[in-house]
Amino acid sequence: MTPKLRLCLFLVLGAAIAVFIGVDISNEDYGVAVVVALVSGWVIVERTSGAPPDVWLLGATLVGYVVGNRGFAQFQPSRQIPLLPAEAVLLVAVPALVVRMAMKRTIGFRSDSLNYSVLFWILYGTTRLPFDLGQFGIMALRDYAMIYYAAFFYIGQAFGAHAGSTRVLKGVLTTAFVALLPVVLSIHLFPDYLIEHLTWNGIPLIYQKSDLIATSLAAGFFWLWTRRNPKGRYLWPLLAAASILLIGVMVSPRAAMAATVITMALWLLVGRWRIAAALAGIVLGGGAVTLGVLAIAGKDLRTSAPYSAYEHAISIFDPEGTGSYVNGESGDPGDNNRFRWIWWRDVCDQTLSTNPVFGLGFGSDLAARFLADYDLLSDETFAARSPHSIFVTTFGRMGFLGLAIWVAVSASMAGVAWRLFRRGDADSLGLASVTCVIWISACVGVVLESPMGAVIFWTVLGLANSHSRQPSAALEKPSPSECADPAPDEWPVAKAGPLGTESGIR
């Protein structure tokens, strides 16, 4: 076929597709247009970018979940294509990963404890799914999502072994955590503006769940702190400070507060105390400024948002909820503690008495007994399905067998995180911190059962595991004298390792 004839054929085909898409758009049907745009974008990115197209697709999804949160999680490009963002990425990235593995262009599986434990997690959940589908129907598939989200671990791990993909995903995390700051501030000042003006098919693209956003802000604090460099030595600490201060205005910040403190303790264990001093200074400075403003305005401190944050913080040490809380914005955190304990106890009792080894199954109603015990049977707005703890959810749905596998996953993750903390370069500290913050928050919240937290967690965990296996010149224990900034001419130069990721920044 001559080049001229081939060009003519492509022009005719393109014109026919354009006419067809134009008719669909005029009828307010965007499905074909979206598919054609995605295919065209894929071809362009494949030919021009240093990272494969599915990396960019995953990156856009990560930004969407961090910034848009619950609103983005419901996004569908067309009513005729009932495909949510996480599932759309899996539909593209998993086959692409299989093809690359077949062509030996990437390693999708590594022989270590984390890879094996995550694999057992997926296999056990998938094995029991057909039985639960027969008993509970489509609801079983909905609860099974907490299992198949783990596929993002292998996707992130494979991308972590490719230099271009790693750079893109690190840039995506930075972009997401920075973009989250003005969005949270905007929602706090103008609660309904984005919900009313930024929608798709009637669904708001940005609709945030307070506890998940607080977790993202806590993760963003550590990630943005590790982005420091001589040119932006003040910018990144300021952004990190804004991230940690905004946690205080969230309605449900306790999981993020606990995650921040525990993750900070890990930094201290490896001799990194400068960030702890900065955190203390940020919190105390923010509190002092707030007290001054309230005093000048003549307002009662106990009715302020900072006092709400204080009550949330002290309620962490009040598991039975016996304390007295006076701030209206606190939402009675003591009662919320009782809410969790009663629900956890009911799920454990029901599982132990029914099927302690294999659990109650995906699709089972883990809230039925709790609603009766907590006197919520008349509350028609209650729609939660998971008892605010990944450990309790796992035990309730998968029994002791599933819980044992999840403990193995967590222990393997802890080993990876600890190696990265001891390693001490910027990316190691950032990836380990984000992973720890989300995992700790998941212990007392609905995080890994939803895509808003699970997609970010599993992807970052995959990147962290890949990064932990790469050689580095900065393996020795960091010096406690890290409190002093190196002069610009003493700042270590980032060198590309054999897999292309930055290493050597101490």
At residue 298, does pLDDT exceed 60? yes
* Torsion sign, CA atoms 19, 20, 23, 25: negative
At residue 412, does pLDDT exceed 90? yes
- What's the pLDDT score for residue 210? 86
- What's the pLDDT score for residue 427? 93
Q: Are 171 and 184 in contact (CB under 8 A)?
A: no
- What's the pLDDT score for residue 377? 64
- What's the pLDDT score for residue 492? 33
3-state class (DSSP) for residue 414: helix
Tell me what percent of the residues of the chain surpass a pLDDT of 70: 82
CA–CA–CA angle 411, 112, 390 (5° rounding): 35
> pLDDT tens digit string along 311-345?
777 777 766 666 666 655 656 676 677 888 888 99
Overall average pLDDT of the 248-257 stretch: 84
Q: Are 254 and 313 in contact (CB under 8 A)?
A: yes
Q: Are 199 and 145 in contact (CB under 8 A)?
A: no
> pLDDT tens digit string along 265-289?
999 999 999 888 988 888 888 877 8
pTM of this structure: 0.84
427 is written with which tokens?
């990316």
DSSP notation for 209-261: -HHHHHHHHHHHHHHHHTT--GGGTTHHHHHHHHHHHHGGGSSS-HHHHHHHH
Within 8 A by CB and 6+ apart from 306, the residues are: 248, 286, 287, 290, 291
Q: Are 437 and 218 in contact (CB under 8 A)?
A: yes
What is the rounded average pLDDT for all residues in the chain? Answer: 82
Highest mean pLDDT among 152-166, 204-218, 313-327, 408-422: 408-422
Residue 394 to residue 447: CA distance in whole angstroms: 13
Q: Which amino acid is at 243?
A: S
How distant, in Å, are the alpha carbons of 73, 86, 139 from that of 207?
9, 17, 24
- What's the pLDDT score for residue 477? 42
Q: Measure the N-to-C terminal CA separation of the chain; round to a whole number of Å.
A: 58
| Higher local confidence (pLDDT), 321 or 261 | 261
Residue 410 to residue 97: CA distance in whole angstroms: 25
At residue 50, does pLDDT exceed 80? no
DSSP state of 469: T
> pLDDT tens digit string along 441-489?
999 988 999 999 999 999 999 999 999 887 764 344 443 333 333 333 3
Residue 332 to residue 113: CA distance in whole angstroms: 42
Residue 419 to residue 259: CA distance in whole angstroms: 19
Helix (H) or strand (E) holding 198: none
| Location of structure tokens 């920075």 | 178
Return the bridge partners of 199, or none: 204
At residue 230, does pLDDT exceed 80? no
How distant, in Å, are the alpha carbons of 88, 168, 323, 324, 336 from that of 302?
46, 45, 15, 12, 19
Q: What are phi and psi of 256, to 5 degrees?
A: -65, -40
Within 8 A by CB and 6+ apart from 6, the residues are: none
